[in-house]
Structure 1
Amino acid sequence: MLAKVFPIKLKDGMQERAEEIVREFAPEGPAVEDGTLSFRVYRDPAKPDYLLFVEHFADKAAYDVHTGSAAYQELIAGRFGELIVEFVEIDHELLVAL
């Protein structure tokens, strides 16, 4: 399993718009992708204009399908990407799960 974590700093005042795009993307992308095991996006109430994506994929190939999808290209790489100041992509391997 491949786990991806993305802390994302948004442009000032873009929190609401970014959340709208993520809500639009979830059922069109991750919800219908066989290899996407989970797709979770968190906001920090104490930190405006920030989102944390935590995603789990069956493997690297599933992640490639995810990022290559039309929904991802339009909504995340496209419209959401325009709202980002910076992000970090962090790969993780599962150690313990309950």
Structure 2
Amino acid sequence: MLAKVFPIHLKNGNQAKAEELVLAFAPQGPGQEEGTLSFRVYRDPAKPDYLLFVEHFADQAAYDAHTGSSAYKELIAGQFADLIVEFVEIDHELLVGV
């Protein structure tokens, strides 16, 4: 399993628009992808203009399919990317799961 974590800092005042795009993307992209095991996006009520993506994929091929989908290209790499100040892509390996 491949785990990806993305802390994302948004341009000021873009929280609502970013959340709208993520809500539109989830059922069109990850919700349709066999190799996407989970797709979770968190907001921090104390930190505006910030989202945390936590995603799990069956393997690298599943992640590549995810980022190659038309929904991803349009909504995330396209519209959502315009709202970002910076993000970090962090790979994780599962140590313990309950």
Tell me the alpha carbon deviations over residues 14-42 of structure 1, each in whole angstroms, 9 at most, x when there is no partner: 00000000000000000010000000000
Alignment-mate amino acid for residue 48 of structure 2: P
- Per the alignment, residue 25 of structure 1 pairs with 25
Q: Which consecutive residues of structure 2, in runs of 5 or more, have no partner in the other structure?
A: none
Which secondary structure does the structure 2 equivalent of 1:91 belong to?
A: strand
Instruction: Name the Cα RMSD after superposition.
Output: 0.2
Which secondary structure does the structure 2 equivalent of 1:27 belong to?
A: helix
User: Runs ≥4 in structure 1, deviation > 4 angstroms?
Assistant: none
Which whole-Å CA distance do the structure 2 matches of 1:50 and 1:91 have between them?
19
- The equivalences for 1:37-76 within 5 A come to 37-76=37-76
- Fraction of identical pairs, as percent: 79
- Per the alignment, residue 82 of structure 1 pairs with 82
Which secondary structure does the structure 1 equivalent of 2:6 belong to?
A: strand
Tell me the CA shift for residue 57 of structure 1.
0.1
Scaled by the length of structure 2, what TM-score is found? 1.00
Tell me the alpha carbon deviations over residues 27-84 of structure 1, each in whole angstroms, 9 at most, x when there is no partner: 0000010000000000000000000000000000000000000000000000000000
Q: Which consecutive residues of structure 1, in runs of 5 or more, have no partner in the other structure?
A: none
Scaled by the length of structure 1, what TM-score is found? 1.00
